[in-house]
């Protein structure tokens, strides 16, 4: 029988949160101690430079546990939280132009070395969306409009992240490239048939599931052909029927951030959490720490009244812990902050970034449709 203490720890493993500031203060220590939240995401506001990030992640490991998942969005192009002296990479469209898996591997090696060096062990990349929509918000974040090329390059990058002890996360299942609306603002709708989705946008995720990418992020996008009511991130159809059963994915499934407009403008957070418990989503990402603490209590109340069974919570907690255990001891963490000079922004990494810093044309699919 699961003890009350074990169950509280299991609930904590379901959440990934953000926080304000560039260090761990007493309030944040208390948050981790009381909620048992086991994953965090860093944003630009949390980071100033390599030594500061190294010290911050060390503080987080002391406060939240040695195996805490510390994630960041470090894709390249428009989405990279860490700037100079870290290597500033061009958008992944430029990697796609090369068509080279070896180039993608080199990019993954740069990301893995630099992130691992400062103590970050989870990178919310690669983007496996396709650059297909004429006005797509994804655009140059995608490697390609061609499904198998996007998958080949993204998975090569993820392999190198893993080799450096950093988990990659394929996103945004089942394909944010199918719509032009930004889910940060409101709920996008992708009005495509299931056959069309399976032939295009789902292909990279099917290959990622087969390759056992450690984490996949589900999108706050409504795909009416599969589920006319719930966005993919809250949908048993998309998460359980398609991702888990049809594609056979057994790794950690994480939501996109639950404070984004796509969710916040359509459903209360408490209700979103209860809906998530009807799926096999493992990690609920909530940037606001207070909102995260409230969501933790929502799960505890649901358990107390029998709305959700402990086994559901435990299954997700175990998948998260399995990932943490697989990462344990593998990270190329600098022993001292002074050692970071040899890991961050070295000449070879900067030369790679420079070689990829050209102005890439939009994908042929977008040019044919008149996209810019």
> How far is the C-alpha of 83 from the C-alpha of 271, rounded, in Å?
37
Neighbours of 21 (CB within 10 A): 11
Residue 23 · residue 55 · CB < 8 Å: yes
Residue 225 · residue 197 · CB < 8 Å: yes
Q: Catalytic residue among 67, 182, 184, 270, which?
A: 184
- Told to judge if 314 belongs to the known catalytic residues of this protein, a careful annotator would answer no
Q: Catalytic residue among 123, 140, 159, 256, which?
A: 256
- Told to judge if 184 belongs to the known catalytic residues of this protein, a careful annotator would answer yes
> Catalytic residue positions?
184, 256
């Amino acid at each position: 029988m699961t003890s009350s203490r074990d169950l509280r720890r299991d609930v904590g493993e379901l959440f990934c949160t953000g926080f304000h500031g560039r260090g761990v203060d007493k309030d944040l220590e208390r948050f981790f101690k009381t909620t048992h939240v086991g994953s965090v995401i860093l944003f630009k506001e949390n980071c100033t430079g390599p030594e500061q990030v190294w010290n911050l992640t060390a503080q987080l490991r002391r406060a939240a546990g040695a195996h805490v998942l510390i994630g960041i969005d470090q894709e390249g192009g428009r989405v990279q939280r860490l700037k100079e002296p870290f290597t500033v990479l061009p958008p992944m469209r430029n990697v796609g132009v090369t068509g080279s898996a070896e180039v993608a591997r080199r990019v993954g090696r740069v990301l893995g070395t630099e992130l691992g060096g400062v103590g970050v062990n989870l990178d919310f990349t690669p983007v496996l969306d396709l650059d297909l929509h004429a006005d797509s918000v994804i655009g140059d974040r995608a490697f390609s409009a061609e499904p198998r090329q996007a998958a080949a390059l993204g998975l090569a990058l993820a392999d190198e992240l893993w080799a450096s002890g950093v988990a990659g996360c394929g996103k945004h299942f089942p394909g944010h490239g199918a719509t032009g609306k930004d889910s940060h603002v409101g709920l996008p709708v992708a009005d495509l048939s299931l056959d069309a989705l399976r032939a295009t946008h789902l292909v990279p995720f099917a290959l990622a599931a087969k390759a056992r990418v450690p984490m996949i992020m589900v999108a706050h996008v409504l795909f009416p052909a599969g589920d006319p009511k719930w966005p993919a991130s809250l949908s048993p159809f998309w998460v359980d029927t398609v991702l888990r059963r049809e594609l056979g994915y057994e790794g950690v499934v994480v939501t996109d951030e639950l404070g984004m407009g796509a969710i916040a403008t359509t459903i209360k957070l408490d209700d979103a959490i209860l809906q998530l418990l009807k799926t096999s989503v493992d990690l609920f990402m909530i940037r606001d720490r207070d909102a995260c603490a409230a969501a933790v209590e929502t799960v505890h109340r649901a358990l107390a009244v029998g709305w959700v069974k402990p086994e559901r919570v435990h299954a997700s907690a175990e998948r998260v812990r399995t990932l943490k255990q697989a990462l344990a001891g593998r990270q190329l963490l600098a022993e001292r902050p002074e050692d970071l000079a040899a890991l961050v922004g070295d000449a070879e990494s900067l030369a790679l970034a420079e070689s990829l810093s050209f102005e890439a044309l939009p994908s042929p699919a977008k040019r044919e449709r008149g996209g810019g």
